[in-house]
Amino acid sequence: MGRFLTVGAAQLGPVQRDDSRKEVVGRLIDLLHHGHRQGVELVVYPELALTTFFPRWFVDDIAEADHWYEAAMPDVETQPLFDEARRLGIGFCLGYAERETTPGGDVHRWNVQLLVERDGTVIGKFHKVHIPGHERHEPGRPFQHAERYYFEPSPYGFPVWRAFGGIVGMMICNDRRWPESYREMGLQGVELILCGYNTPIHYVPDPSQDILQGFHNALVMQAGAYQNGTWVVGVAKGGVEEGVDSLGQSCIVAPSGQIVAQALTTDDELVVARCDLDWCARYKETLFDFTRYRRPEVYTRITSQRGVVLPPERGTR
Ligand code: CDT
């Protein structure tokens, strides 16, 4: 029989600096309608879907950037998305910047994804763990990637939730390049990982990687899916945004590691696949039967060590 879930990867084309939340939410709702016509039950939007990718600019006073962050979700501008999704009976996963003020008055700035069920219930929120880029202004660059200035790295790790008839986890953009992200969720039986991203094609520290952006994007998600027996939904914000060319190539990857659907454009586009969550067991119960084959007792460096420790020089041992 199978446990089938029809998923839509709702790729967005560029969101420019002056595009209002209202305009962007209108585009998100259009994609919901495309999904509804195709029987989609879960729509996944990209990282920082409501705004342009603002870490490409530096401001000396971070308070000047507060308008890029959401202080409440939903608010008056995003409520129409929540209302329409609920009316259509479609769940969604939405990436945005969050400015949290704790009851004690501390302020936290997070890069988050929210997961909402088909009946409008908020299932969970994921906070981005691996924050790439740099902390300070780097004037020599053609554009900044100052995510480490704008966002705290999450201390909350990679939880999973029972939702959509399966076990669902999330990660955001750079998290997809790290095998630990998938394995943390794999060890909780994840069957569907939702990942929004914004990946500039030009990688300033090493431009030789530019031509490989599409290859690396697929490589990490296909490997993570296969090695953990899970579906992975990767959703881009693509196209030329404020002069920066970003990778599209949103795709849905099966637990076999095969790409079953992929975006053909770098614009607003819904990529749809009917995902059989029971397919995961074929990998989880054979080659990647963790209980039978994993050897955590010999993987101690994975959690006890951060950087590389080289072996002693020859002759000094
Ligand atoms: N948004 C995000 O995490 N982008 C990174 C770009 C890395 S270059 C500083 C990515 O891994 O795609």
| pLDDT, tens digit, 9 for 90 and up, residues 4-47 | 999 999 999 999 999 999 999 999 999 999 999 999 999 999 99
Flag whether 280 is in a domain: yes
What is the span of the domain harbouring residue 177?
Answer: 4-304
Q: How far is residue 201's CA from residue 213's CA, in Å, rounded to a whole number?
A: 6
Report yes or no: 245 and 235 within 8 Å, Cβ to Cβ.
no
Residue written as token pair 């998305």: 81
Burial (CB count <10 Å: 0-12, 13-18, 19+), residue 64: exposed
- Inside any domain, residue 218: yes
Within-domain flag for 316: no
Q: Which residues pair with 7 in a beta bridge?
A: 42, 273
As a whole number of angstroms, the distance between CA 228 and CA 231 comes to 9
CATH of the domain at 251: 3.60.110.10
- Confirm whether 315 is domain-assigned: no
Asked if residue 252 lies in contact with residue 9, where contact means CB atoms within 8 angstroms, the answer is yes
Structure tokens at 163: 């939702």
Tell me if residue 173 is catalytic.
yes
179 exposure class (CB count in 10 Å sphere: 0-12, 13-18, 19+):
middle
Threshold 0.75, pTM exceeds: yes
Closest residue CA from atom 12 of ligand 1: 199
Identify whether 310 is part of a domain.
no
Inside any domain, residue 311: no
Residues in Cβ contact with 189 at an 8 Å cutoff, skipping those fewer than 6 apart: 160, 167, 284
DSSP 162-205: EETTEEEEEEEGGGGG-HHHHHHHHTTT--EEEEEE--BS--TT
Q: What pLDDT score was predicted for residue 1?
A: 78
Instruction: Let me know: does 150 contact 97? Beta carbons within 8 Å.
Output: yes
Mean pLDDT by 10 residues, the chain (317 residues): 95 98 98 98 98 98 98 98 98 99 97 98 98 97 98 98 98 98 99 99 97 98 99 98 98 98 98 98 98 98 97 83
For 251-298, the pLDDT digits (tens) are 999 999 999 999 999 999 999 999 999 999 999 999 999 999 999 999
Active site residue 237: no
Q: Is residue 177 lining ligand 1, measured as CB closer than 6 Å?
A: yes
Q: Residue 256: which residues within 8 A CB-CB, separation 6 or more?
A: 225, 226, 279, 282, 283
- Which residue from 197, 202, 212 has its CB within 8 A of the most atoms of ligand 1, so it is best to mutate? 197
143: Cβ below 6 Å to ligand 1?
no
For the chain, the domain total comes to 1
Q: Measure the CA–CA gap between 85 and 92, rounded to whole angstroms.
A: 8
Q: Which atom of ligand 1 is nearest to the CA of 134?
A: 9
217 lines ligand 1 (CB under 6 A): no
Tell how far the Cα of 199 is from the centroid of ligand 1, in angstroms. Answer: 5
- Residue 162 counted as domain residue: yes
Q: Please tell me whether residue 97 adopts helix, strand or coil conformation.
A: strand
Q: What does the alpha-carbon distance between residue 234 and residue 176 come to, in Å, rounded to a whole number?
A: 9
Catalytic residue from among 98, 117, 147, 173: 173
Q: Evaluate: CB of 181 within 6 angstroms of ligand 1.
A: no
Contact 147, 131 (CB under 8 A): yes
Would 317 be classed as within a structural domain?
A: no
